[in-house]
A and B are shown apart, each in its own frame.
Chain A
Amino acid sequence: MTAVLAKTEIESALAHRFGPAFQRREKQPVKVLPTGVSEMDALMNGIPRGAITEIVGAVSSGRISLLLSALAVATGQEETCALVDCNDTFDLYSAKTARVDLERVLWVRCHNGLERAFKATDLLLQSGGFGLVVLNLADVAAKSARRIVSTWWFRFRRALENTPTALIVITPIACVRSCAAIVWAVNKETDAWFAAGASALKTDDAKLRINRDRGPATTHARHLSLVTESPNRQAESLLPHSRLFRGICVRVSQERPAAWTGGPVKFSTHVYI
């Protein structure tokens, strides 16, 4: 009680000098950037601006598919985007097929330079004005990802605060830790191949359909099908390779919600004598 009174006295004494410092800031509503995947947008609204979104998953888990979809939406809205490619693995043809406007994407190739990638991201965030910045660490070894110092993430979070920029970090393991506003864990459930043709070895069409219709099994999870509907559509695309590989079905789990909606949080204090 005494401490509370003392705090009030100090605040009233210093209020005329540091008035705004003692006022509680009103939390601004979270602005989002759609991902372009209807299931994801319906459940999670999209990618929050002014915050870090981490997409975690193993190889072939559908992380880049989600990224391309978000990039297509952002460039479709005439936002200026930047992609910091740590391992120089950005594929232009799949991006073009996903209708990413490549003229609006600034591509920074870091050639396996992890530190360079972080410095480049920092420069882009400090510059400001970008709608979406992507830090692609998909091919970084898990051992290196674990060693990334937290100060980088704190620095990014601070630079992003109160800006309209959304930062997506793609990692093999969760490494952004508490600085991420949202963490999406992506897991491949199955892959699909066209039955037509002697080369096809496996079909999971029925299984995929069940997965899509199953709906949200948990509160923050979605099953997505990244599967081409018909062989003709694949043939029309710019990809010059396989006509039989259709895509994959993935399960996206939202590990960390964008905003807590479970009501006020209560803390209890125990004094042990």
Chain B
Amino acid sequence: MFACIYGLTLSERGRDAAALLVDLAFTFSPLVEQTGMDTVVLDVEGQELLFGSPTSSDPSVLVKPEANWTNIANEITRRATQLGFKVNVSIAANPDIAIHAARSNKGIRVIPAGQELIELGSLPLKQLDYSLTGIEKDKAEEIYETLRLWGVRTFSEFAKLPIAGIAQRLGQEGVRLQKLAQGKSERQLNLFQPSAGFEQALELEHPVAELESLSFIFSRLLNQLCANLNSHALATNELRLYLKLEDKTEYGRTIFLPVPMRNPKTFLRLLLMDVESKPPQAAIISVKIKAEPVKPRESQTGLFIPLAPEPDKLELTLARLAKLVGPDNVGAVEVLDTHRPDAFRLTRFRLNPRTRKNAGKKSPVGSEATPALPVMGFRVFRPPWRAEVKTMDERPARINSCGLAYVIRGQIVCASGPWRTSGDWWLKDVWARDEWDVAVSSSGSQQGEVLCRIYRDLQSEEWFVAGVYD
């Protein structure tokens, strides 16, 4: 059985009233269709056990089923009245009949199965809602005009016409409309899906200016947000924070996560660290957190796959490192496609997927994974150390350069070069240099012989130490 609630003058009250009507229907059944702004249909099968008349222990005393449905309709009306609605309620075996009955009759109407035409046969054809069968307006009006010319004016007159003739003259649309008038239309309820609450907001009674107080508010909202995500078997990879400030400005931050997560503690720490790094300029009066729902991460670890940091922990660690050394100093390095020396950029560090094939295996020395002979290591000085170089026969003979930790000073005992490199001549920061690899006998220090790379900048004619071999 289906119940239809038709709200009188509800369409004038807007979307909030329509949402309240849907909420009212959900208090009776989880199977609810919002047919229109003022019409809601719900499946009330089994509700007689809750709202029906009490059954007697005497089997000779029979309770009419109509009495149970009337009780349900009365209960719906009572609750609607409490909410301030004036509604018509009808109950029928067919949802479309229930809709027509609720729209055409005031108060409560219960239509037993098989008596649809008796109860609604006198209704004019104009009240037949063609949209319930999915027929377009123009086609429906054309059919109504034809029926009017035939002298067919009510549901019962239309229902009594032979179906073969209807199909021949009005087509399939006519047949569907006739079944609708007969109360024999077959359709499933187009169930209303309540919007998932992946957005939580809170208006604060007093402006909040301290991060510690804000953490409690974040925690509450994030817990609710993650509970909603969990109930829908979803996670999020993007968190958006919107704050309304006392000076009537807005503050927004977005946190992108490398993998979908739904751990409120992780979210809380990330949000707090993010807000701490760039705090708002005024006290906060409203907080809204929005999560972008995505499917959760599917991963299966293996016995022979090397351990990797947990994505949640890694994200927190990266955020803490960024706070410690600055966001521009943490990440994975990417060598730029240029010949300019020491050209690179730091990108966001991400966990690379591990392949089971090579995981955990020892790389044989000399294979593709590792070179047979260790490569000579080099350390770059950023920025390069300025040096005083004395030349002899156009070759560096003596160097004096001072760094933070030690001094490179002494006779150059071995040198190879120069190797001239240049580039970016079409840009302002053109570079051109003559590079030398030198061995410096630093007799004055404890370093012994130092192997370093020096260069002469051809633009400024100055010498620099690029770095040391180590």
Contacts and interface: CB of A to CB of B under 8 A. Distances in A.
Interface in B410-427: 413-417, 419, 421
B374 A127 contact: no
Interface in A72-103: 72-73, 76-80, 87-94, 96-99, 102-103
Interface stretch (B140-148, B244-252, B343-351): B343-351
A216 interface: no
B303 interface: no
Given A103-B332, A123-B317, A191 B451 contact: yes
A91 to B, nearest CB: 4
A123 B316 CA distance: 10
Given A78-B359, A131-B307, A123 B324 contact: yes
Given A60-B468, A103-B352, A106-B349, A77 B379 contact: no
B309 A130 contact: yes
Interface stretch (B86-94, B191-199, B230-238, B441-449): B441-449
Interface stretch (A7-15, A61-69, A146-154): A61-69
Given A34-B363, A58-B446, A89 B467 contact: yes
B416 A197 contact: yes
Given A201-B413, A202-B413, A94 B309 contact: no
Contacts of A102: 332-335
A105 B332 contact: yes
A240 B206 CA distance: 63
Nearest to B453: A241
15 contacts: A36-B365, A58-B447, A78-B352, A80-B351, A89-B467, A105-B332, A107-B332, A111-B329, A129-B309, A139-B405, A141-B406, A172-B405, A188-B449, A201-B415, A241-B419
Nearest to A83: B333
A92 B416 contact: no
Interface string B309-344: 110011011101100110001111111000101101
Closest CB pairs A-B (n = 5): A64-B377, A129-B309, A76-B369, A244-B416, A242-B437
B125 to A, nearest CB: 72
A26 to B, nearest CB: 22
B94 to A, nearest CB: 61
B373 interface: yes
Nearest to B344: A92
Interface stretch (A176-184, A226-234, A254-262): A226-234
A200 to B, nearest CB: 6
A243 to B, nearest CB: 7
A80 B334 CA distance: 16
B380 interface: yes
A159 interface: no
B14 interface: no
Interface of B: 305-310, 313-314, 316-318, 320-321, 324-325, 329-335, 339, 341-342, 344, 346, 349, 351-352, 354-355, 358-363, 365-366, 369-371, 373-382, 403-406, 413-417, 419, 421, 435-437, 439, 446-453, 467-470
Contacts of A245: 376, 416, 437, 451, 469
B365 A38 contact: yes
Contacts of A62: 377, 470
A190 B405 CA distance: 24
B378 A93 contact: yes
Interface string A207-239: 000000000000000001111110000000101
A110 interface: yes
A161 interface: no
B325 A91 contact: no
Contact of B307 (A123, A164, A239): A164
Contact of B467 (A63, A77, A91): A91
Contacts of B382: 88-89
Contact of B468 (A41, A59, A116, A227): A59
A77 B306 contact: yes
Interface string A36-70: 11100100000000000000001111111111110
Contact of B375 (A38, A65, A172): A65
B325 A108 contact: yes
A73 B370 contact: yes
Contacts of B439: 191, 202
B317 A127 contact: yes
B313 A129 contact: yes
Contacts of A130: 309
B361 to A, nearest CB: 7
A140 interface: yes
B372 to A, nearest CB: 8
B377 A99 contact: no
Interface string A105-128: 111111111001001100110111
A193 interface: yes
Nearest to B375: A98
Contact of B373 (A63, A104, A193, A228): A228
B369 A59 contact: no
Contact of B381 (A89, A224, A241): A89
Nearest to B377: A64
